[in-house]
A and B are shown apart, each in its own frame.
Chain A
């Protein structure tokens, strides 16, 4: 037995491996959650595709409408696009103006509360928008529709778009206006974020050269925010395309028609919401296939929007 050597205490404690397992475990756990998201999305697309194949390839006599699938889905897809496009056209100018109001026009003290007020609009559930459009807003528009229909009657072209007025006001135009109100806070908040980031020096330089406020906005804010505005509008469009409840409640469904203020037209989400609870078998596949079409359309719109955003992030002088 040799005399015990004097050993320097180890620099690292012996139980140092404590928590090493925790590190790899935690890392794997978080990665697994990320991959789960990938899995969910893959499952959604795969499921939609498999389930719709039955309806897309079925012979017309097996489908509920007695027509080929594309003949069934085309009118409601067109209705969806019409509704969302009108909503975007109505909403974009107002949203940009409201965003400008918050970022540049409102007195500094009220601009924050004003932002909150617009956020309240974003918080209202879509079913409440639908109920409001159905019972208050739609009927309130009837006199306007009647007047519009009378004014436009002798004008060729316009008398197709604004033909015989509905007596309930539950028309595609009403649904579009309700959608426009719903997407207003989305576009506004996105635009506001970008307008605020306009380089201060650009603005001050413009003002120092004698610009009026509007000249300054034209020369500095809009060029800086152009891509951001486009992507905000695309995001709003994506939301409008997928919006279900407001349209389901507001629109009295009917066949595809160019008459925006009369009875008729349908959108894909409303069609699914109205019919899916009672559907089974082939009818269910049909509706799922319609859902797939909607998914593809919104996916395309959103991806274009994101692509614009990423391009903007890389090339902007803001960061």
Chain B
């Protein structure tokens, strides 16, 4: 390159001799899009194929251009950089598609009168066929599923948070890295990997065995209730709570504990009054994320709480519906198999509500973490 500059004389600038102008990349994108657009304008329009061809053309053109002007190493650099950018946009496609599908399909269901305030009591194929034929509005709603989701998640939280919190306190404050601590950490990791359906199997089975025992060999289906589902969800939730709380407790500066001990405060009071309040924002956001995770679980609830059509406020008795199971049921077993449209409409409405709840919980978790963040990092 250097020799080139000398041979070409004064016109070539040493600093810019083997670089591309800033607009080269943009021009390359525009060129590839135009070429791809031209091809598909002639051969019949197809948006996905247009995007794929444009990306491929850009990949080839940009790589060759870089390799020719700046050398082979820069060619491969441009190639991989393009692939990384393409991968990112590729990952956005399903996200946008899912959210668009849920919102566009769900708004109609959600805005139907009585969708949030009524359940599926008395909604049979007759009503749905009438609705599909345009003789009546789509009836039925998700009240029972909302109530069920709320109660089951609440009970699961009440079980998991104390267990998870206490375990992580033991791990951080008391264990001193003993073999038992290593074992429990390992088991928590194992628990994180339990498939949700296995957790459901476990809860359903254990409670059935219990009712078999006290019922003299006949459980009578008493194990199908909201509480069983809450146990299944707890199995999934405890490890998440332990891990996030543990992380939060570990970042509490040791100076705070030592200052408290120096004042003669006992260890348990130090933990309750100093350590936990310092870490509370992180713990709260971790718990909120765990709730968001189990609120969307379907499979374990399907096996444990069954499917109900009417609102059930009692977690210890009777079948219960939750939002994810409601979506599953409406899609897989439409109320009127010959006219599934009203069921599909309700399913998407429920999906929109579920996504809003889960996203809301995630936002709350972030807000909690952000609002109180300086507490932990003010060292």
Chain A residues with CB under 8 Å of chain B are 19-20, 22-23, 25-27, 29-38, 40-41, 43-44, 47-48, 51, 93-94, 97-98, 100-101, 105-106, 114, 117-121, 123-132, 134-137, 181, 184, 188, 212-215, 217, 235, 238, 241-245, 248-249, 269, 272-273, 276-277, 287-288, 291, 294-295, 298-299, 301-303, 306
Contacts and interface: CB of A to CB of B under 8 A. Distances in A.
Nearest to B91: A98
Contacts of B332: 248-249
Contacts of A243: 195
A84 to B, nearest CB: 11
A291 B194 CA distance: 11
The 4 residue pairs across chains A and B that have the minimum distance between CB atoms: A242-B195, A125-B296, A97-B87, A33-B166
Given A117-B92, A294-B198, 7 more contacts: A22-B266, A29-B166, A41-B190, A43-B202, A121-B91, A123-B358, A128-B351
Given A30-B170, A134-B331, A94 B195 contact: no
A208 B74 CA distance: 15
Nearest to B306: A277
Contacts of B180: 34
The residue among A120, A184, A215, A273 with the most chain B CB atoms within 10 A of its own CB is A273
Nearest to A301: B193
B84 A100 contact: yes
Contacts of B92: 117
A44 B324 contact: no
Interface residues of B, number: 90
Interface string B56-91: 000000000000000001101101110111111011
A299 B90 contact: no
Interface stretch (B3-11, B94-102, B111-119): B94-102
B88 A98 contact: yes
A101 B189 CA distance: 29
| B-side interface mostly | helix
Contact of A127 (B166, B186, B327): B327
A248 B303 CA distance: 14
B368 interface: no
Contact of B268 (A23, A134, A215): A23
A48 B198 contact: yes
Given A44-B202, A214-B76, A249-B331, A94 B87 contact: yes
Nearest to A20: B266
A107 to B, nearest CB: 12
A269 B171 contact: no
Contact of A124 (B239, B267, B355): B355
B240 interface: no
Nearest to B172: A30
A300 to B, nearest CB: 10
28 contacts: A23-B266, A33-B164, A33-B165, A34-B166, A35-B184, A37-B167, A44-B198, A47-B205, A94-B87, A101-B84, A120-B95, A124-B98, A125-B298, A125-B355, A127-B324, A127-B354, A131-B327, A132-B98, A136-B101, A137-B94, A137-B97, A213-B77, A217-B80, A249-B331, A272-B299, A291-B201, A295-B198, A306-B189
Contacts of B279: none
Contact of A47 (B206, B328, B359): B206
B328 A127 contact: yes
Interface string B143-172: 000000000000000000011111101110
B284 interface: no
A128 B98 contact: yes
Contacts of A245: 298-299, 324, 328
Interface in B271-303: 271-272, 292, 295-299, 302-303
